[in-house]
Structure 1
């Protein structure tokens, strides 16, 4: 039996329990291909209190009663939940993990010690590299490189597991038709995590303050005083706050460009792939990125340098581009679907599992 251990809730509960929409969408997209016989979910550390009841046949939530006894007890609950999953895994099952970390490390160790015939694989989406000496992240990295196989979203030199493949993301197996870009407009979107090293928010704000015939839409959680000042001062900078997923998609379909201006020198950004890129490409938007990504070779996107002057120059160049030139970067949904649909993932999971059998 192939088991998937992840951390999701039904769509209507994701915002209520402050889970990551991107993380839940990834797991749900992967599950839509029917590649798992059983899916278990363990909640992140911060989820505690009563859990609303729900029926979701594709996902069994493992939720300890300790979570209802306060935040301290909730931290212990994750270990009780991992023991519970351990007891449900058969001696010859195959386990796929959503990342390796605090929510499954005890389970991995228990399986290695007491059920050594269980094969353990990981889908490593976003790893935080260790910064000094031996620490818990070093231990997670050691496990990642010594389990039976890995699908990684980035090809960092830190990842040395030889039974591995790099895939940028996964698209849903079934999806509604998404609107095509018929005529590009100078409407840009910055969404998601708005930390400076991830979003480059300060330099983006400065650039749009100077190029005022380009309109910037921003959505996500942010306590930046600078953002609110710029949104008040410049009519072409609009902060929408945190949106529901439906409202976010409506906004996404109203813009032409999705910004992904990550710091290419920050080690964290070398160990993951932005889910927003796959999502925006799937919705036919044009990507502007500061990082070159070999894992999406064959897909067209606009590359720029990460500096205020460099990005301002890129904005002005985009404004001056002919429409037919810009349209070469738009409407790539079908290509992205071909490269990253769940069937592609299922095939790679099978190949990785079979490689171990061939040894």
Structure 2
């Protein structure tokens, strides 16, 4: 038992695979990194993992050998098609049977992969305390779609940790924590000589990265280097800009070690979300916490109150305004720039796993 002062098990459900298999099976790097960061603090007695509906066929044996979690993967997935959808339901039943009475359960988001599990525990094992870590949620403006149902379940949970503040979520027994950093003593390089080098990484969809805007802006800023890595982007467009403009570099999707090496070579991490998209109302970009931990400066199109106490650049989302603001940033003196870089130690203080474990325990203890 990890938590000697607790008799009840604390159980975590997430959607993870060992690091070398994340890309192979199309899982979210951000989701896996967040989960492993949180797990590194030793706050859970047991961790279960389920996989997205689109994952099927034979599963690599290494996926079941990771001592950090138990992967629940039903043989129905191997048959493909509708059987993969049935497997998702069966897997939730299998996990339900594994969870002991009186356990504290924490779910990574509330979605199709765990909603049945939530209901089964709520109805048939009421002694189990259900809590949600709300990382991503897209509001539904009208109607009764699946997300409306998921929102009702989120607000029926005993407690919630949200990455962003939203009136959609029940405020009682809820707390906002935008991210978690791993329990590690790894040496992270500091920035001693800031330069006009920028990184855009992660999901490169329009609503997440405004990729076309960023490309247009840096095409007019030849003095600034732009590096791009990630998934779900228009690769033809990215290759086109990289071929024409010497300051724009498209790296494709990189293994995590190579991604960190690239991050450590730049000064600025871009977070260029479109505030007008509902996808960005109820979440927080994990790349921001990650880059701050790694001593990079943040350039964000959205103001985040949960970053109070940390320094970052807020920039507009229109082309002309963004060009002008980046030019201003690059013209700052070194002394001014040093207030925006090398904040990793402060990030460890306020977003470490001990903070998360204490908050979880506090929410669990509330009646």
Instruction: Give the TM-score category using the shorter length.
Output: over 0.9
Deviation of the 1:175 alpha carbon: 4.3
Deviation of the 1:3 alpha carbon: 0.6
> What are the Cα deviations for residues 39-65 of structure 1, in whole angstroms up to 9, with x where unaligned?
111111111111112322220011101
Counterpart-to-counterpart distance in 1, 2:92 and 2:209: 34
What's the RMSD between the two structures over aligned residues?
A: 1.0
Counterpart-to-counterpart distance in 1, 2:130 and 2:206: 35
Partner of 1:264: 275
Counterpart-to-counterpart distance in 1, 2:256 and 2:237: 26
Q: Are 1:60 and 2:61 an aligned pair?
A: no
Asked whether the equivalents of residues 127 and 271 of structure 1 are also in contact (C-alpha less than 8 Å), the reply is: yes
Counterpart-to-counterpart distance in 2, 1:344 and 1:168: 12
Partner of 1:40: 48
Q: Are 1:274 and 2:281 an aligned pair?
A: no
Q: Are 1:283 and 2:297 an aligned pair?
A: no
TM-score by length of 1: 0.97
Counterpart-to-counterpart distance in 1, 2:325 and 2:170: 36
Residue ranges of structure 2 left out of the alignment (5+ in a row): 1-8
What pairs with 1:190-201 in structure 2 (closer than 5 Å)?
190-201=200-211
Q: Are 1:219 and 2:229 an aligned pair?
A: yes
Give SS of 1:23's match. Answer: helix
Give SS of 1:203's match. Answer: helix
Asked whether the equivalents of residues 149 and 161 of structure 1 are also in contact (C-alpha less than 8 Å), the reply is: no
Give SS of 1:254's match. Answer: coil
> What are the Cα deviations for residues 150-177 of structure 1, in whole angstroms up to 9, with x where unaligned?
0000001111241100001000001421
Deviation of the 1:20 alpha carbon: 1.0
Change (3 A) 1:83 1:161: farther
Give SS of 1:350's match. Answer: helix
Q: Are 1:128 and 2:138 an aligned pair?
A: yes
In the TM superposition, structure 1's runs of 4+ consecutive aligned residues that sit over 4 Å from their partners are none
> What are the Cα deviations for residues 231-250 of structure 1, in whole angstroms up to 9, with x where unaligned?
11110011111111111111
Partner of 2:3: none
Partner of 2:246: 235
TM-score by length of 2: 0.95
Counterpart-to-counterpart distance in 1, 2:171 and 2:104: 18
Deviation of the 1:131 alpha carbon: 3.4
Residue ranges of structure 1 left out of the alignment (5+ in a row): none
Counterpart-to-counterpart distance in 2, 1:53 and 1:306: 46
Deviation of the 1:224 alpha carbon: 4.7
